[in-house]
Chains A and B, each alone.
Chain A
Amino acid sequence: MLLQQARAGDARALAEIHDRYYPKLYRYAFYRLGDAAAAQDVAGEVFVRLLDTLRAERPPQSTLSGWLFGVAAHLVADHFRRAPRESLEILEWFTSGTSAAQEAEERLQHQQLRAAMRQLTAEQQEVLALRFGDGFTLEQTAEIMGKSVNAVKALQFRATAALRRTLGETGND
C-alpha cells in the first residue's frame, strides 16, 4: 500500500518511507563503513535510486525493506572498492566524555574490531550490521537478505565466530 501510494507521488507516503527507513539505512551504512559522511552519502543515495526506480515504473520486486537494504549493500561495496582503506582511517565512534587515555584505548580497540570486521565476508558483515547495528530480528534480517531464518541464524553464528577468530580470541569453531 505504502509503495503503491509512493508510486503515485503521494507526498505523505514518500515522507513516511523516508522517515521510516533513513535512520535504519544510515545506521546500517555507518556500522559497515565507520564513516559518518560516507554513511550519509549511502543513505541519501538509496532514496535517489528509489525515486529513479519509481520514475522508471520498475518498482521493487522484493519487499521495500529488502530492496532498500540491497541497494545500500551495493553502495557500501562500491565504497569499499573505491576507497578500500579510507574507512579504516576514519573512526568516529566516541563522543562521550571519557578521559584522553580511555578514549585512545577505546579507539584502538574499535580500530582493531573494525579491521577484524573487514576480514569477514560481505554477507557476514551484513548480518552483523543488520542484527547488531540496526537491531533487526532474525525474521526481518532474513527478509532483507532474502534468506531463511535458519540460514541467517547459522550465518550470524559463523560471522561471530569468524570475528572472534580474527580478533585472536580463543575458540574452536
Chain B
Amino acid sequence: MTDELTEAFDDCLNALAAGASLDDCLAHYPALRDELRSLIQVAGTAQAMGASATIPQPAEMSSRAKFLAGGAQLRPASPPRRARWRPVPRAAVALAVLALVVAGTGGGVAASAQSLPGDALYSVKRTVEQTQLLFTLDEDSRAQLQAEFDERRVQEVQTVTVQKRTTRVEFSGQVESMEGERWSVAHVTVLLSPETRVEGTPSLGASVEVSGTSQPDGTVLASLIAVTDEGAPVTPTRSTPTASATTRVVPTSTPPPTVTPLSTETASPAPANPLPGASPTSTAEEGEEEEFTGLVGSISANVWRIGGQDVTITPATEISGSPQVGQMVKVKAVRDRSGALVARHIEIKEATGQPEKSPTPQPPKTPEPSVTHEADETHEPSETPKPTRTPGPTRTPTP
C-alpha cells in the first residue's frame, strides 16, 4: 500500500508539473483518491513556501566579489614569458621603501595582496612590487619577478572585467587577434577608440602594454597600447594588421564597435586557425587542438557550455552560422595556460539522430547537454518536479 502510494504520489506530482489537473491525476488512482488529494495539497503548500524567496542582489554581488578575490590567490605563478626591467628613479625608490615600511607596520601589505585595481590598497600592492624589484639584484631573478607581476596584472584585469568593474587598468600580453577596433590581448578584449594612442606597430603575436579602463561589458577601453616586443613574424599566408586598425584580420560573430570608422577592407575568409596561432610562442604554451561535438547547453558573452564542457569564446573564435542552445555543434579548441578550453572554431553540426541525452527532461531555456556526471555538472532546477523512473547515482557527498 505504501509503495503504491509512494509511486502514485510521485506520478501525480509529475502529472501536475506537466500541466494535468488534480482530478485527472486522481482519476488514475480511484482507491487512493482521498489520500492522494490531501498529500498533494500539503505538497502544494510546501511548494508555495519556497516561491517567495527573492535572491538578494547586494549580498550575492558581495559574496561573488569576495569569492573571486579569494580565488585569485589560487593562481599559480607562471614561468616568465619575457624579461622586462625598467629602471626606477631614485625618488621613487625612497618613496617605495618608505611606503613599504609604513604600510608594513600597519599590516597593510598583507591586506593589499588581494587588492585589485580601483581598491584603496592597490597602490600599496604596486609599491611593494616595485620595491621588491628594486631589492632584487640578480638580473634573472628580477626578470622572473617582473614576469610574475606581469602575469598578476593580467589576472587582475581578468578579475575586474569578470566583476564588471569600471577602473583604470594596466597589463601586458601578446596580441591574439585584431579585428578592427576590437583586439584580444592576453585573453582580454581590448577596444580602441580615436583617443587610443598606439606606440610602435602592433601585429599579431607582438607583446604590448595596454593602459585603459575596464568597462561594464567586460572589455577594456584602451588609452595606450605600446609595443614592447615585435614578436615572431605572422604566418605568411595572412596579411599583417597594423596599428591603424583598418585591416580586418579575424572575422567573428561580434559586430565591431562604432567608436571609429569601420574597416576599409572586405573581411578576409575565416582562417582555419584563428587564435594566435600566428604566434609560435603562444602556440607552444597551449595544448594540442581538441575537436569534439556536443549540444549547446548555454550561451553567454564569453563562455558557452557545449557537451557538458565550458568553452571560452574569444574575439578570435570563428563561429559558422548562428548556433542556438540545444543545437549540436562541432568544436575545435585548445587549452590555454589556465586549462580553459578556448574555442577556435564552432560550427553547427547536422543532427545525426542521436543527440546526447540528459538523465531527466530539462526546461527548454537551459537544456543540459551531456549525460556525463562530472564533478561540476550543471543541475538546473526545474520549476516543478520532473517525471522520472530512472535509478539515480548513489555517490555520497563528503563535504
Least CB distance from A45 to B in Å reads 9
- Asked whether any CB of chain A lies closer than 8 Å to the CB of B398, the reply is yes
Given A51-B70, A133-B53, A149-B391: A8 and B76 interface contact (C-beta under 8 Å): yes
- Asked whether any CB of chain A lies closer than 8 Å to the CB of B374, the reply is yes
- Which listed residue (B42, B378, B388, B394) contacts A146, Cβ 8 A? B394
Query: For chain B residues 330-382, which have a beta carbon within 8 Å of chain A?
Result: 338-341, 359-360, 373-379, 381-382
Residues of A within 8 A of B (CB): 1-20, 22-24, 26-27, 30-31, 36, 39-40, 43-44, 47-51, 54-55, 59-71, 74, 92-95, 110, 113-114, 117, 128-129, 131-140, 142-150, 152-154, 156-157, 160-161, 163-164, 167, 169-173
Q: Is the CB of A137 within 8 A of B388?
A: yes
- Which listed residue (B50, B70, B159, B359) contacts A139, Cβ 8 A? B359
Least CB distance from B65 to A in Å reads 10
Q: Is the CB of B60 within 8 A of A172?
A: no
- Asked whether any CB of chain A lies closer than 8 Å to the CB of B15, the reply is no
Complex interface: chain B residues within 8 A of A64 (CB)? 375-377
A93 to B54, CA, bound (A): 10
A1 to B370, CA, bound (A): 13
- Asked whether any CB of chain A lies closer than 8 Å to the CB of B183, the reply is no
Q: Is the CB of A153 within 8 A of B6?
A: yes
Residues of B within 8 A of A (CB): 2, 5-7, 9-10, 35, 38-39, 41-43, 45-47, 49-50, 52-56, 59-60, 62-64, 66-68, 70-76, 155, 158-159, 162-163, 302-303, 308-310, 312, 338-341, 359-360, 373-379, 381-386, 388, 390-399
Q: Is the CB of B46 within 8 A of A132?
A: yes
A149 to B43, CA, bound (A): 18
Given A48-B66, A55-B74, A140-B379: A12 and B53 interface contact (C-beta under 8 Å): no
Q: Is the CB of B68 within 8 A of A18?
A: yes
Complex interface: chain A residues within 8 A of B50 (CB)? 27, 31, 129, 132-135
Least CB distance from B314 to A in Å reads 11
Complex interface: chain B residues within 8 A of A36 (CB)? 56
Least CB distance from A129 to B in Å reads 7
Additional A-B contact list (12), CB under 8 Å, known A7-B74, A26-B60, A149-B388: A1-B374, A3-B374, A8-B75, A9-B155, A47-B66, A63-B377, A67-B398, A94-B52, A95-B54, A137-B388, A138-B385, A148-B393
Given A62-B398, A140-B381, A160-B43: A11 and B158 interface contact (C-beta under 8 Å): yes
Least CB distance from B325 to A in Å reads 15
Least CB distance from A50 to B in Å reads 8
A-B residue pairs, 5 tightest by C-beta: A9-B74, A9-B75, A66-B397, A133-B50, A2-B376
Q: Which partner residue on chain A sits nearest B385 by CB separation?
A: A131
Q: Which partner residue on chain B sits nearest A163 by CB separation?
A: B42
Listed A/B pairs (23) with beta-carbon separation below 8 Å: A1-B309, A7-B74, A14-B71, A15-B162, A16-B310, A26-B53, A27-B50, A31-B53, A39-B53, A55-B74, A62-B399, A65-B377, A132-B43, A132-B46, A137-B382, A138-B10, A138-B386, A139-B360, A139-B393, A157-B10, A160-B9, A160-B39, A167-B42
Least CB distance from B28 to A in Å reads 17
